[in-house]
């Protein structure tokens, strides 16, 4: 085998087409607030992500990622991108126990996107798995 047969074409990565997301005026905002980070995804009604942001993406590290200010900065960043793309109204789905759930929703509404509905979708066990042992601090 010669070297020309083994090598991949250089433009294989460049040939991959960027997917086109249809942006409607109405969509969803998914806020996942864990104990370590917060992730905000703004999607259209079919679930395709228009814009997203997290406290880690905004440059916060360590325990600063789980603060209301970091959540506010991340939500404002994601909402600004989605608003420029044409998103006007959202249903908010909040998941997780972390700090910054309210401040991220406030930042989304301040950026010009109207919040229509807020729903908590935190998963709760109906006595499923045995929980981890209690922390001793």
Close Cβ partners of 98 (under 8 Å, ≥ 6 residues apart): 33, 34, 35, 36, 37, 38, 66, 71
Radius of gyration (C-alpha) of the chain in whole angstroms? 20
Q: With 0.85 as the threshold, say if the pTM is over it.
A: no
Q: For tokens 């395709």, name the residue.
A: 48
CATH, range 26-120: 3.30.420.80
Q: What is the mean pLDDT of each run of 10 residues along the chain (137 residues)?
A: 58 68 88 95 93 94 93 95 93 93 94 95 92 90
Residue 7: the pLDDT is 61
Residue 117: the pLDDT is 95
**Domain layout of the chain by residue ranges:** 26-120
């Amino acid at each position: 085998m010669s070297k020309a047969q083994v090598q991949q074409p250089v433009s294989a990565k460049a040939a991959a087409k960027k997917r086109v997301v249809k942006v409607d005026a109405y969509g969803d905002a998914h806020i996942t607030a864990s104990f370590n980070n917060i992730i905000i995804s703004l999607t259209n009604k079919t679930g395709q992500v228009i814009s997203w942001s997290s406290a880690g993406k905004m440059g916060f590290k360590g325990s600063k990622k789980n603060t209301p200010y970091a959540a506010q900065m991340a939500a404002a960043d994601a909402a600004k991108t989605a608003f420029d793309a044409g998103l006007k109204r959202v249903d908010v789905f909040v998941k997780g126990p972390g700090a910054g759930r309210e401040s991220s929703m406030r930042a989304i509404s301040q950026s010009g996107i109207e919040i229509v509905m807020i729903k908590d979708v935190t998963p709760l066990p109906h006595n499923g798995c045995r929980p981890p042992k209690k922390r001793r601090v």
